[in-house]
Structure 1
C-alpha cells in the first residue's frame, strides 16, 4: 500500500481491495471517534487498543511505512528505467481485479450500474487531466494533504497522481529530501483529517449501499486502465526535486505509434508476458484466499 502510491493509476486503496483487507481497513479507520477519544482521556489504553483493532492497524501502517521507505524508491526507479514492463504488470493486475470485484455484487440495478459508470468516468477523467501550477501558499499544501489522503482509501486514485494534479509533487518530494518539517507538518495536518473523512464516506457507501459502493470501486479501477496502459507519449515534462525531467502529462498510444513517434522499442512481447503475469497473480491470490476461507 505504501509503495503503490508512487504509481499513477494504482493506489494503497487498490492494494487493500485486491488483497481482501479493504473493508477491515475502512472499518478500523472509522473506530477513531469520540468514544476512542474518551478512552484516551481516561488512559484506558487496553480498551482503546482493542477498539482501534490495534494489531491490524499497527501491521498495516508498519507495512505502509516500510513500503514508502524501500519499495516506493524501487518502484520509482523501475518507472524511470523499465516503464513498459512495470505498467504492463499493473495493467494485468487491474484488468483481472475489477471483474473479480464485480462478482461481489449481489443485486444489479440502475443505481449499481450508475455507480459503476460514475467510477469509470471519474477515474478516466483524472487520468486525462494535466497538472497545474499551484499557488505557493501553506494553505494549499494543507488542502493537498487533505485531498491526497484519498489515495489510501479509494481504488486507483494514487497519492502521486493527486499530488501531480495539484502541482505539489515536487514540493512534497523536495520537503521529504530536505527534511523540511514545517512543510511536512502542514501536509500531515491536512492528510490525517482527509484520511478519516474519506474512510467515513467509503464506510457509509459499503454499509448502506454495498453493491453500489463495490461497483464504484471497481469502476475506479477500470477507469484507471487508461493511465496504466504501458505505451505512452509524453506531452509535458516537469522537473523533480533531483533536477530530473519527468513526465507531467502524457497520453496512451498504440505500440507501433510509440515506435514511429519516439523511435523506442515498444517491447510488445515483454509487455504481454508481464500482463499475463499480473492476471495470473490475481487469480492465484483469489484461489488461495478462497481456500483459506474454506479451511476457516
Structure 2
C-alpha cells in the first residue's frame, strides 16, 4: 500500500515537471499537460478548496483534516515537480531557443496539434454550440497572436500582477502564461530572475501566482461544471489556434529596440519553409523540425497512456 502511494505521488511529481517544462516556453501551456495526463479537474478542485471553509476545518478538526480537504499531498507533489522543472530547465530552454529555435517550435507544434485532437475527442462535434465555441477559441487565439510586446516598467506592482495574470493562463489548456509574459515584456525579467535566483522578484511573482490561482480556479471550475462542452470547446479552439503562435518558420516584418538596446521583432508573419529560406538566407531544417513535431505527437500519446493507466490503477 505504501509503495503504491509513493508511486502515485512520484508520478504526479513527474507530471508536474512536464507542466513546468511546458510553462517555460512561450506558446505552450502547462494546463495542456495537466489535461492530457488526467489531473486537470483534480488540480482545479484542489485549488478551489482554499476558502474560509478550509480555515474552519483547520480550527475544528485539525491540520490533518484540513490537509486532506485541500488535497495537500497532491498539490505539494505537483508543484514540487513544476518548480524543479522550471529551475532545472530554464537554462536549457533558453539555450535551445537561442540555438535550435526551429526544432523547439516544431516539437511544440506537434505537442499542441496532438493535444487539440485529444481534447476534441471528448466533445460533441456535431452540436452547433460546440462548433461555435471552438470557432470562438480559434478567433481569440488569432487575436492574441497579433498582440505586440510592450515595455512594462519592472517594479513590485508589475511583477506581482504579471504573476497573477500569467498563472491564470498557465492552468488553461492552450493558453500560455509564458506567452502573456512575453507580450507584457516580463518574460526575460522572470527567466533572468530564475537563472540568477533573484529571490525578491521571484517572491513577488509567486505571490501574484498564488492570488491568481486562488481566484481563477473557482471561475474555471464553475464553468467546467455548468458549461463543460462550451468551455472545453473554447479551450480546444484556442489550443488549435495557438499553432499560429508556435509555427516555426516566420518572417520578420517589423522590429524595435527594447529597453536593453537590443533589436527585437515586433511583427512577424508565418511563412512556408521555402519562403523562410529565401527571406532569411538560412536553412529551414524542415526534416529536423518535422521529426521534432512527430516526437511531440508521440509524447502526447505517451502522456495520455500514462494518465489513463494511472487513473485505471487508482479505481
Give the TM-score taking structure 1 as reference length: 0.88
Change (3 A) 1:238 1:58: farther
Q: 1:10-57 deviations in whole A, cap 9, x for unaligned?
A: 011111122221111111111111111223445811001111112211
Residues 189-204 of structure 1: pairs in structure 2 closer than 5 A: 189-204=207-222
Deviations, residues 47-86 of structure 1 (Å, cap 9, x unaligned): 0111111221111101001111112321221111111112
Q: Within 5 Å, which residues of 2 pair with 1:99-138?
A: 99-106=117-124, 108-138=126-156
SS in 1 for 2:20: coil
Residue 55 (structure 1) aligns with? 73
The secondary structure found in structure 2 opposite 1:2 is: helix
Query: Please, which of 166, 180, 195 is the counterpart of residue 148 of structure 1?
Result: 166
CA distance in 2, matches of 1:145, 1:157: 14
Q: Residue 296 of structure 2: which of 275, 278, 281 is its match?
A: 278
CA gap of 1:61–1:111, structure 2 versus 1, over 3 A, is same
Structure-to-structure mapping, 1:1-296, within 5 angstroms: 1-41=19-59, 44-106=62-124, 108-176=126-194, 179-234=197-252, 235-236=254-255, 249-287=267-305, 289-290=307-308, 296=315
Aligned-partner Cα distance in 1 for 2:95–2:211: 31
Alignment gaps of 5+ in structure 2? 1-18
Distance 1:185 1:280 in 2: 36
How far does residue 276 in structure 1 lie from its aligned partner after superposition? 2.0
The CA deviation at 1:240 is 9.1
Q: Distance in 1 between matches of 2:91 and 2:233?
A: 32
- Deviation (angstroms), 1:184: 3.5
Deviation at 1:171, TM superposition (A): 3.3
Q: After superposition, what is the alpha-carbon deviation per residue over 1:105-164, rounded to whole angstroms, capped at 9, x for unaligned? A: 247533322221222121222122110122455433332222111232112322221111
Aligned residues: 295
Are the aligned partners of 1:98 and 1:222 in contact in 2 as well (CA < 8 Å)? yes
Alignment partners' CA distance in 2, 1:78 and 1:263: 21
Once the 2 structures are TM-superposed, how far is the Cα of residue 246 of structure 1 from its aligned partner?
Answer: 6.0
Partner of 2:13: none
Separation in 1, partners of 2:197, 2:298: 40
Gapped runs of 5+ residues in structure 1? none
- Please state whether the residue corresponding to 2:185 is helix, strand or coil: coil
Asked if the contact 2:125/2:131 (under 8 Å) is kept, the reply is no
Query: CA offsets per residue over residues 188-245 of structure 1, 9 Å max, x none?
Result: 332211112221221111101111121122112101100111112344366698x976
